[in-house]
Amino acid sequence: MAALISFVSAIAAVSVMAGPTPDDPPLGTRPDKIFICREGKNNGGKLIGNISRNKVTEYINNVGIPLDTASGFPKPFVNNMGLKFEIGCGEEVYQLPVLANGEPFDVNKKINQDTANENNPGRLRVFYDWGQNWSMWYCGIGVVPDDKDPGDVHLCTAEDDNF
């Protein structure tokens, strides 16, 4: 009997660690959060943009994981910096540019780094996991380095840190 209880407890622990449960609210129904994205270490520099989690969630649901786009995005993201993504994000994380005004980046247009308004991916990224059941899971919004502000990728901070 003790072995059976231990086995059931182990199965329950694994299912909790595996990610979201059926009781978790769908992403589109969660209260929105605005993420503040700034330059510099610890997101403490000049403001780049304020991004709505619900808006980028809708965006990544529409984009999915196309295999071959003119822009090359979305791209796999290797989290070798140890970013603390939201619970439920697995190892297969993708990155997709988000424009500083929160508008979607056109993945089907070639990138133009020289002109700000011509499909320049900028520095903001939404990170997401495309799970086992081909369902998207939002992981976070972050800033990637550039020539003017080199350094590591960092996550933006929420206006209200109560998830």
Q: What is the mean pLDDT of each run of 10 residues along the chain (163 residues)?
A: 42 38 50 89 88 89 82 90 87 88 85 73 90 77 81 87 45
- The sheet that has 34-38: what strands, in order across it? 47-52, 34-38, 157-158
Long-range contacts of 79-85 (CB under 8 A, 24+ apart): 81/152, 81/153, 81/154, 83/127, 83/140, 83/142, 83/153, 83/154, 83/155, 84/155, 85/127, 85/139, 85/140
At 157 the pLDDT is: 93
Alpha-carbon dihedral sign for residues 96, 99, 103, 107: negative
Q: Name residues whose C-beta falls within 8 Å of residue 114's C-beta, 6 or more positions apart in sequence.
A: 120
What pTM, to 2 d.p., does this model score?
Answer: 0.75
| Amino acid code (one letter) for 48 | I
At 1 the pLDDT is: 44
Coarse DSSP helix, strand, coil percentages of the chain, rounded to the nearest 5 percent: 20, 25, 55
Domains of the chain and CATH, by start: 25-158 (3.10.450.30)
At 47 the pLDDT is: 93
What is the total residue count of the chain? Answer: 163
At 117 the pLDDT is: 64
CA 129 to chain centre: 8
Using the structure block, give the residue that is written with the tokens 């231990």. 6
